[in-house]
A and B are shown apart, each in its own frame.
Chain A
Amino acid sequence: MSSSMCLRCLKRSLVPIESSLPLTAGQRAAFSTSPSLAANPPKKTAKPTKTNARQGKTLKLTKNKRAATTRPPATGERKALRKRVVLSNTNALDVPGLQDLTTDSVSGVKLRELQDKVAGLGNDTVDALRALEAFKPTQGWSLFRRPASLVRRETVELAELLQAIQDSNGHQVERRVVFGEKVGGKSVLLLQAMAMAYLKGWLVVHYPEAKDMTIAHTAYQPVTTADGKTIYIQPQYTAHLLGNIAKANRGLLSNMRLAGQHQLPVPLPPNCSLLRLVELGANDADLAWPVWQALWTELTTPSQPEQEGLQRPPLFVGMDGVDFIMRDSAYLDSEAQPVHAHELALVRDYADILSGKTSLPNGGLVLAATTGSNRPSAPTFHHYLNRNHAEAHLPTLVSLRDRLRAQAVDAHSASDLNFAELDSLLSTLPPSLADQLHTFRRRAMASQRSNASVAKFLAACDTFQPELPHWDPYLAIDQRVADVMGNVRVQKLQGLSKEEARGVMEYYAQSGMLRHTVTDGLVSEKWTLAGNGIIGELEKGAVRARF
């Protein structure tokens, strides 16, 4: 058939001559200038120019200036930050079944059930204790969900004591000093006593740090007493203490009214409640000292239960760091001689209560705790602590000797006697008595081993006269301290027992702060590493240790 085109053109029309895209790789050119021509011209990069050291800018180091843009802290802000007490850690777990100390549970019998366990504190109690500054920043309250503390054997004894004082209806006043190793739990024992007293409806007065009174950090002024002696009052600190008392005992004080007349610089309203009086003193430093005197007069008037507003509950007076008041203070008198701490008015009042010179007609507990980590040198005070501690154990020692003597009189030979009691007593005695008992024990054992006659052992008994520690007569004794401490009972706070250690470690584990399983082995290990169960070291080793 004939076509309009030639055969060659037909073929060419069927096959595209040139396509925009090359069909195969071979059809693409190896090199092409098209892309490079089509591209944008290259951007000029900034070349680092060679700087001549002599010309141009030189390096200037700015002076090390403190940033002046931040706001300087307000007066007292840094101190407040340093001394703030955090009582809660929301990251810690809530311990299920944590029983609180309540008015019911703090009776001695009920508290025994809580022994070796940790008991929490209710909100009201916590508020009162916080007002009294019973919590310390160095303690471990900020590690747990709620404030809680271990109920030790000593806590239960204190609860029983409080109960006994309350039951005696104002006739019993117990005066005690608690001492022991540092971080041994003395301050916390004081806190527990305060909490229990508060729950029982007592009036609680607490000197949080005796050091603050005696290191001359607060203003003081001399005042002449009626006898002609000069004492020193500390108005600002007194106001501070009055503020604490008002906040902590608000409920009780508001229900009490003044029993007698008081001479104050400002006139008092006719039916003034004690709370109003105390707040008056708390707000004004000039009124603080007269108000303080008035308050104490009120608190030491016998209670009149039938009159409304004149009932006076028992009083709890606590002090922490009592070593500081048993020596010279840092104040100087007008002759630039050091002022003894007992010449400070506040301290004098406390010392009178502690020694029993000022009686508490409504009963009460006067408890003082020494300080371990911050101990000043007060030789007379520490001598009396040791002496009174030994005095408390002396009767048991003498009775043991007498019993052994009675046994020996009946026995045929020394080998029949049983000296097991000697060994058990040896571990509980204070060191001064323990040494004497150890000597006696050696002689007794020697006579037993040599199968000597009973007469030899009886002779040993006769020569065994346990003595209290003596004051070195060549050293000057602080007579004021000796007079105060002569009549005060003393309690040494030792380490925890293994059961108590277990109880507190289980609490740590349940709070999530101790990540190990609490086994007997772990408890024993932590107990030994804590120097035979010192609770502060136990907490450090179990909770605070960082790995």
Chain B
Amino acid sequence: MEYTLLRTGFRRAIVACQNPAKRRVAVQPRRYFATPVESQGGPDEIRAAPPIRFQSDDNQFSQSRPRAELIDNANFSRGGRGGGRGREAGGAGGGQEVDYRQLLRRIRIVPASPSYFTATPRYTDDLLHLSSLLRAHQVLPLLPPGQAPRVAWKTIDQYKTELAEPIRSKSYNTLLQLLKRLNYIHPSLMPQEVTDALEKYKRDVQPHLNVPNPIVVNEYGVARAVGRRKSSSAQVYVVEGTGECLINGKSLTEYFGRLHDRESAIWALKATQRIDKYNVWALASGGGTTGQAEAITLGVARALMAHEPDLKPALRRAGCVTRNPKRVERKKPGKLKARKMPAWVKR
């Protein structure tokens, strides 16, 4: 096959060198000409392409099959007419006796997807697939705005790494918009194909799935919650009662000498005027006095929210809901403490 090409090429080159009038641009495919230049016969005669013999095998275009097949040179004849070029695409499949040589001359290789001709075929395929899904399911009811399940989509870098294609951020944002729109479909009516399609674009680890276990009131009416502050942590059990409070088996005054710490520990109850409605039993460990008091504050607030969820805004205003993230800063080399520098010496 290459031999034929070479021969034709050389012939033309010789002609072009000898006769300047016959110099023309290197090999031009015949089909660009509107009308046949030469008469019938000859090696460049245009003929209708032979019909593509489609096979009934469903897997003829599947990607799992090898697209290329090495053909033994010895079996190949030279007299191959210029009909088909390129290699055989997609084997004939098992069971059918195919004359590869004949097939090669007659098949027309088409790309699996039209996106082959774009700069980013896989991206284009994805975009088109999602667009088709959207078009198919755009009448499905949606969740109210802001209530779609929170999903961590892949970043553009992760996506690009996967696809190994140059994708602009604008392009990726378009894709993300489609994903988000598809995500809004009501979960009770979400089609399986949409779910499967969206799964591909989600990150491996979904941080939004990491929800804390809800604090429940058990069969004895006790709610257990944990609070932390600095390096102290406290397990707090809150049950309806008359206002008693025990911490590590001791009463509030025995455990906290400071009135401020005592008030802090039951601040959640004090702010909502429910001190005489609940009993508190706490186990505190770690840290110091005030750290433990604040840890108990958080624990009591969480346990109280288990009993009465409507108190959350009131407790937030009281400052019991947010866990204070401050921790002791570590000492750094070259400094005396975390920030304190040694005395400055002129020289």
Q: Which residues of A contact B (CB under 8 A)?
A: 181, 495, 520-521, 524-525, 527-532, 534, 537, 540-541, 545
CB of B259 closer than 8 Å to a CB of A: yes
Q: A545: which B residues are within 8 A, CB to CB?
A: 259
| A181-B251, A531-B252, A545-B259 given; 18 more Cβ-contact pairs under 8 Å | A520-B276, A521-B273, A524-B243, A524-B276, A525-B270, A528-B245, A528-B266, A529-B262, A529-B263, A529-B266, A530-B252, A531-B245, A531-B251, A531-B254, A532-B245, A532-B251, A534-B251, A540-B259
Q: B252: which A residues are within 8 A, CB to CB?
A: 528-532
* 241-286 of chain B: CB within 8 A of chain A: 243-245, 251-254, 259, 262-263, 266, 270, 273, 275-276
Ordered by A's residue number, 30 sampled pairs between the chains whose C-beta atoms are within 8 Å are: A181-B254, A520-B276, A521-B275, A521-B276, A524-B275, A525-B275, A527-B276, A528-B244, A528-B245, A528-B252, A528-B266, A528-B275, A529-B259, A529-B262, A529-B263, A529-B266, A530-B252, A531-B251, A531-B252, A531-B253, A531-B254, A532-B244, A532-B245, A532-B251, A532-B252, A534-B251, A534-B253, A537-B253, A540-B259, A545-B259
Q: When the two chains form their complex, are residues B254 and A541 in contact, meaning their CB atoms are under 8 A apart?
A: no
Q: Report whether over half of chain B's contact residues are helix, strand or loop; otherwise say mixed.
A: helix
Q: A530: which B residues are within 8 A, CB to CB?
A: 252-253
Q: B276: which A residues are within 8 A, CB to CB?
A: 520-521, 524-525, 527-528
Q: A531: which B residues are within 8 A, CB to CB?
A: 245, 251-254, 262
Q: A181: which B residues are within 8 A, CB to CB?
A: 251, 253-254
Using CB atoms, name the residue of chain A closest to B251.
Answer: A531
A537 to B262, CA, bound (A): 11
Q: Which residues of B contact A (CB under 8 A)?
A: 243-245, 251-254, 259, 262-263, 266, 270, 273, 275-276
- What is the number of contacts between chain A and chain B, taking CB atoms within 8 Å? 46
A521 to B276, CA, bound (A): 7
Q: A541: which B residues are within 8 A, CB to CB?
A: 259
Shortest CB-to-CB span from A521 to chain B, Å, is 6
Using CB atoms, name the residue of chain B closest to A525.
Answer: B275
Using CB atoms, name the residue of chain A closest to B276.
Answer: A524
A530 to B256, CA, bound (A): 11
A520 to B273, CA, bound (A): 11
A527 to B279, CA, bound (A): 13
Shortest CB-to-CB span from A360 to chain B, Å, is 36
Q: When the two chains form their complex, are residues A528 and B243 in contact, meaning their CB atoms are under 8 A apart?
A: yes
A181, A528, A529, A540 — most chain B CB neighbours (10 Å):
A528
Which 5 residue pairs are nearest across A and B when measured between Cβ atoms? A531-B253, A524-B276, A531-B251, A528-B243, A531-B252
A197 to B273, CA, bound (A): 43
Q: A529: which B residues are within 8 A, CB to CB?
A: 252, 259, 262-263, 266
Q: B270: which A residues are within 8 A, CB to CB?
A: 525
A520, A531, A545 — most chain B CB neighbours (10 Å):
A531
Q: B266: which A residues are within 8 A, CB to CB?
A: 528-529
Shortest CB-to-CB span from B265 to chain A, Å, is 10
A534 to B244, CA, bound (A): 12
Using CB atoms, name the residue of chain A closest to B243.
Answer: A528
Q: B251: which A residues are within 8 A, CB to CB?
A: 181, 495, 531-532, 534
Q: B254: which A residues are within 8 A, CB to CB?
A: 181, 531
Q: A525: which B residues are within 8 A, CB to CB?
A: 270, 275-276
Using CB atoms, name the residue of chain B closest to A494.
Answer: B251
A323 to B63, CA, bound (A): 92
A495 to B254, CA, bound (A): 12
A491 to B149, CA, bound (A): 63
Shortest CB-to-CB span from B337 to chain A, Å, is 33
Shortest CB-to-CB span from A518 to chain B, Å, is 14
A357 to B262, CA, bound (A): 46
Shortest CB-to-CB span from B273 to chain A, Å, is 6
A102 to B275, CA, bound (A): 38
A316 to B121, CA, bound (A): 105
Q: When the two chains form their complex, are residues A527 and B243 in contact, meaning their CB atoms are under 8 A apart?
A: yes
Using CB atoms, name the residue of chain B closest to A540.
Answer: B259
A529 to B264, CA, bound (A): 10
Shortest CB-to-CB span from A448 to chain B, Å, is 15
A528 to B276, CA, bound (A): 8
Shortest CB-to-CB span from B181 to chain A, Å, is 53
Q: A532: which B residues are within 8 A, CB to CB?
A: 244-245, 251-252
A72 to B254, CA, bound (A): 42
Q: B273: which A residues are within 8 A, CB to CB?
A: 521
Q: A520: which B residues are within 8 A, CB to CB?
A: 276
Shortest CB-to-CB span from A71 to chain B, Å, is 39
Shortest CB-to-CB span from A532 to chain B, Å, is 6
Using CB atoms, name the residue of chain A closest to B279.
Answer: A528
A527 to B252, CA, bound (A): 11
Using CB atoms, name the residue of chain A closest to B265.
Answer: A529
Shortest CB-to-CB span from A184 to chain B, Å, is 10
Q: B262: which A residues are within 8 A, CB to CB?
A: 529, 531
A537 to B256, CA, bound (A): 12
A83 to B266, CA, bound (A): 37
A520 to B242, CA, bound (A): 12
Using CB atoms, name the residue of chain A closest to B255.
Answer: A531
A532 to B276, CA, bound (A): 11
A527, A529, A534, A540 — most chain B CB neighbours (10 Å):
A529
